[in-house]
Amino acid sequence: MVRSFAGALAVLALLLAAPLAAGQESKSVWGRTLDAVDSTTPFPVGTKEEQDQGWFSGSWDGVKQLWRDGTHDVYLSGYTWHLPYAYSTAERREENANTWGAGFGKTMTDERDNQRSLYAMVIEDSNFKVQYSAGYAWMARWRVVSDVRVGLGYTAALISRADYWHHVPFPAVLPLASIGNNTFGVFATFIPGSANILYFFGRVTFDAK
């Protein structure tokens, strides 16, 4: 149930924050959803010349543009809440909740105040082992008061852990939520399946515009 709710929130964010293209009103809900998802990828950031070469060329160029022109970010990890419905009290005592670590990334903010990010992080996981991750994130944001914004989106990442195939990287797509301003934000993601955890981390931006 929690997993379905998180997925529904991410799709809702895409539909609310993605711009409506000309003629899109005549498309089906499924077609509009696909267009909304596509608008959150790196493809729209790529140059027109690369976009004309196809989706992969446009997206790869978008990644390069994001890495070249994005702000400089430092990520600080973090805290992991092992959800009580999935872990006994004894099991929660044995898990590592203070998943310390750090990372680096680049972020680009578009004209709708939504953000695209590239990042890489190294943290201590729930089993007190080193975990590596690198990926892309998209976040729709809404101003709530002064400079403070709340956000909802997703991340697509490669993750490497000791307890999964001895650090062979595997892909993951996870929901993201945030609160903060352009300089500092606190992020949270829900990791379902065998993990069933909420993971919290921070991001500091040094050249926010």
Catalytic residue positions, numbered = 82, 125-126
167-176 contact pairs (CB < 8 A, 24+): 167/132, 169/132, 175/6, 175/7, 175/9, 175/10, 176/10, 176/137, 176/139, 176/151, 176/152
Which ranges of the chain does DSSP label H, i.e. alpha helix? 2-17, 29-39, 48-51, 55-69, 89-94
Neighbours of 66 (CB within 10 A): 20
Q: What is the DSSP letter of 123?
A: E
Q: Which of 34, 41, 40 is nearest to 18 (CA)?
A: 40
Asked if 119 contacts 73 with a C-beta cutoff of 8 angstroms, the reply is: yes
Q: Which of 57, 11, 9, 4 is nearest to 37 (CA)?
A: 11
Two structure tokens written together for 148: 């403070």
